[in-house]
Structure 1
Amino acid sequence: MRLPRSGAGWTIAVFGVLAVLLGALGLVWPQAQLRMLGFEVPQTRSPGDYTGTFLTASAMASFNMGVYYLLAVATEWRAFYRFTVVFRLVTFTVFTLTVLADVAPDRFIGVALWEGAGAVATAIGLRWDARRSAGNAPTPAESQVSGVTEGASSGSALAGPAAPAGTDR
């Protein structure tokens, strides 16, 4: 696995590693994860209580999501970075409303804040990367001298995870 090549990539990598680790924790030691989130952990569960099943599914989803994030970092898939900003803000909103409606314990607000802060950090990283990239972009005159047309140098024809870093996908 290579290190991230952009500011936004670092924010996605941090989230990905933490999602993998917390997913693994939930799979191996679910009671610890429940306590971390502020949920009660009774000695025994009543018949029909599928908390363990739901936690296993959530932990596996977190683990997989972390892997997806790390794959996006390895390929510098910037469209995925932008996608996560929007949906992490949606997650922040839903989780915050869940706490405010007393559906989840107050400590669960930490999860909402983590999602919101991650979305903002990635958005800032994307903006910083774009400004840094714009500062290194050749002027139209320099592009003509080097024989590269302006449209080709912007990377607009490239798409998908295999496109080089700094392209707008």
Structure 2
Amino acid sequence: MRLPRSGAGWTIAVFGVLALLLGALGLVWPEAQLRMLGFEVPARRAAGDYTGTFLTASSMASFNMGVYYLLAVATEWRAFYRFTVVFRLVTFTVFTLIVLADVAPDRFLGVAAWEGLGAVATAVGLRWDARRAVAPTSVDGPDGVEPGAGESAGPAPAAGTVR
């Protein structure tokens, strides 16, 4: 895998690696994942409790999302970077609301904060990358090279010709 080529790319790469690793953790050791999120881990689940099934599905989605993010970094897919800013802010909002509504434990605010801070970091990275882009100066041509640089003078014009 190639290293990120932009500030925004680094933010996407960090999120991608963590999503992939946390997804793998949830697949291999689901109890650890639940404890990290502040959920209780009973010794035995009641009939009809599909927590394990849901956690497996969520972990697989996280693993896959990590792969998608890393693919976006490898291709420097900036439209994807911008897309993630919007939807990570939506995720931040939803996760915050479910904690405030007592649907999730307070510790789950850490997940909301991770999403919100990640979105802001990527937005800042996109802005920084845009400002860092080299714009041609007034003396440079459209390709950033001074007009006439590297051009040969060629043969002298014929007598009486205006060049």
Aligned to 2:57: 57
Stretches of structure 2 lacking an aligned partner (at least 5 in a row): 146-163
- What TM-score, normalized by structure 1, do the two folds share? 0.83
Aligned to 1:93: 93
Q: Which runs of 4+ in 1 moved over 4 A?
A: 144-147
**Structure-2 separation of matches of 1:144 and 1:130:** 18
Once the two structures are TM-superposed, the CA of residue 68 in structure 1 deviates from its matched residue by: 0.2
**Structure-1 separation of matches of 2:25 and 2:44:** 20
**Structure with greater Cα Rg:** 2
**Structure-2 separation of matches of 1:143 and 1:116:** 41
Deviations 1:37-89 (A, max 9, x none): 00000000011000000000000000000000000000000000000000000
Aligned to 2:45: 45
Cα distance, 1:140–1:80 mapped onto 2, change above 3 Å: farther
Cα distance, 1:78–1:48 mapped onto 2, change above 3 Å: same
How many correspondences in the alignment?
A: 145
Once the two structures are TM-superposed, the CA of residue 31 in structure 1 deviates from its matched residue by: 0.2
Cα distance, 1:62–1:138 mapped onto 2, change above 3 Å: same
Aligned to 2:33: 33
Deviations 1:82-113 (A, max 9, x none): 00000000000000000000000000000000
**Structure-2 separation of matches of 1:145 and 1:46:** 68
- What TM-score, normalized by structure 2, do the two folds share? 0.86
Deviations 1:127-167 (A, max 9, x none): 0000000xx121365235879xxxxxxxxxxxxxxxxxxxx
Aligned to 1:142: 140
Cα distance, 1:60–1:146 mapped onto 2, change above 3 Å: closer
Stretches of structure 1 lacking an aligned partner (at least 5 in a row): 148-169
**Structure-2 separation of matches of 1:17 and 1:145:** 36
The percentage of counterpart residues that share the same residue type is: 85
